Structure 1
Amino acid sequence: MPFLAVAYAFTVAMCGTTLPTPLYGLYQRQLGFSSLMVTVIFAVYAIGVILALLLLGQLSDSVGRKPVLLAGLVLSALSALCFLLEGGLPGLFAGRVLSGLSAGLFTGTATAAVVELAPRRWAGAAALAATAANMGGLGSGPLLAGLLARYAPDPLRWVFAVDLMLVAVAVLVLLPVPETVPRRRGVRLRPRRLRVPRPVRPAFVPAAMAGFAGFATLGLFTSVAPSFLSRVVGVNDPGVSGAVVCAVFAASTGGQLLMGRIGVRRALPWGCVVLVAGMAVIFGSLATASLPLLVAGAVIAGLGQGLSFRAGVTMVSEQSPPERRAEVNSALFVVLYVAISLPVVGVGVMAVTLGLRQAGLVFTGCVALLAAATAVLMALRPVAPGGDAA
């Protein structure tokens, strides 16, 4: 079915964005750079995502879904080639920027295409299918790369050769997919406005705060988690690193699915409470160098992130006027992708001066404080349906 083809392509594109996660340790040993440089390499990915969101976020509404999805796969393939032919830091930086551009193109376009192509009887589950493809891809990337790094003879080449084959299959299955949007003339690329209307701000602020805390956590696990495992916990197995990161995204998917049962206005503050609990467990894992605690903390934090993230996006969409919804959602996602990059660079800077363990402890404390403040804000000023703060 066409929507399954798009879901597969979505999964492959997002998988490519997290493939390097368990390989950073190998690159460090090969190229001799620091943990700070690992976080910088990771952070440039967010630059690509933000550029794509600002300049190209509405492109598929004009040229059609399929051309944008195919362009995203081309960028994903170019990113894999940069890593496959890597000759130093410039190749890693180029690969991450291209990967970010691919993700920025895919996130909104593929979600819309899955919903539009889903059979009528599956209409209610189409958005969840898009979410599962997104988070499943993000989680499968580190797991696939970790397993290949453990068992393949040349992991830094095999991982991206396999990725290129998956991308090629995605292109082939996308080609016969029907277009759902008529093409318009006079396409113009210009930055999208990022203004949030005043009536939406009571919903936007807690959603952005919760999202910042949750995406900062995802950024930590997809950048320096392997360093924590090797230098703090004493586990150097890339397969284990990939499995831990995969657990975060699997739990996030579970949290997003659970949100529908809990309800938007309860899920956001309770997701923050669960995220605080996850940070406490991660804090304990770093303090005691415990792998089981780190895995448990990853699962708990991922669950809280998923709950609060989907609740925040849903709440902001509900409060936004239809003619401003894309603009407001873009503003929210720019905040989230800033959150996935800048805090982990801060961890890298602190690791140089304080040490990696202390940097992780400070990070978990800051995220817990932000999530707790969001939960308190929601308790004091709940957002009522229709956009008025209660």
Structure 2
Amino acid sequence: MTETNWAGNLTYGASALHEPASIDELSALVAAAPAVRGLGSRHSFNRIADTTGIQVSAAGLPALVEVDAAGRTVTVSAGLRYGELVEDLDRAGWALHNLASLPHISVAGAIATGTHGSGDRNGSLASSVAGLELVTADGSVSTVRRGDPDFDGMVVSLGCLGIVTKVMLDIVPTFDVRQDVYEGVSWESIADNLDAITASAYSVSMFTDWSDAGAGQAWLKSRADVTPPDEFFGGRPATRALHPLPDESAEFTTGQLGAPGKWWDRLPHFRLGFTPSNGQELQTEYLVPRPHALAAIDAVRTLASVIRPLLFVSELRTIAADGLWLSPSHDIDCLAIHFTWRMQVPEVTALLPALDDALAPFAARPHWGKVFESDHDRLLAAYPRLNDFRTLADRLDPEGTFTNELTSRWLDR
């Protein structure tokens, strides 16, 4: 059966997809195959999960959600999707510090690509990883924990070091969140108040179509005991629930208008009970070091005339720094500039080099799971530990079992 990614813009070239039911079965598959890539929830828009060999999914491994209250961690099977663990975790009185826009993505896939939520003080999803178990190229099972020599290089791994089977995540006491949406925050207000805007809530997202009007919507996710402002830097409170796309129904978005709800039902933009179908869209994202945020926004605005005809919507949000080598927020707080494109593959592909050119002066870091066009030298300038990671991959996977054409190009390996 031919497999495609979530968006349907890619047909994988793998010879087979395997979903082993045990670690022993997975180990045997990996040890016998000359080329292997892990496949998560298929929410990557590029060929990071592709291979000329076999793909393996950890989704068939025994489900595990094991809370260690004393250690403030939860150990989960890597193939689980976030939405499959959050309610169990909440019932035990605990929470994750953040979630991505969709709770339907796999834990291992999100971590391997540096996927994130939002918030000035909130690191990426990978920043909460305290330990990993993985099957390496010879089929053996290896574990690594925070503080081990290779740990910071192994978390955001691009799938190049092995097939992750279990993940240990930091947890925090459960909490409630309210979500308030404001309409109409101008570019002038953003330029004058960016730090204050992004510090206004636990998580802040601004949505724009890059028109001269600025951000059409600002979504504030706050602890439930926080009272939001009546006016938000010139923006007015929404009087009805909204979708990030102005003409779309808000039926499947998480609760708004200040109604409090569980962390897992407010931190994402879309509801857990909503199962996304194949998305007729493409996505690109760059994380820009915070000191360059406004200059990067201005650079994108100069491309507005060519961006807007291809765009559904863009999102601006912030992520706290972490120490993980290939994390897009490695060692510095960042502003993420996200593009959700129409499914116009040739036109979007043609635009990507110009977007990379516009953002390269700001050491912008592309999200590893989205579509982008860059080269090794630019990636090395943006990700200063890139060559260290290549050395680590050479040591842990000397035959290149877990490499593919895309990661080889990125790593110059």
TM-score in terms of structure 2 length: 0.23
Larger relative helix fraction: 1
TM-score in terms of structure 1 length: 0.24
Q: Which has the higher contact order (CA 8 A, sep 6+)?
A: 1
Larger relative strand fraction: 2
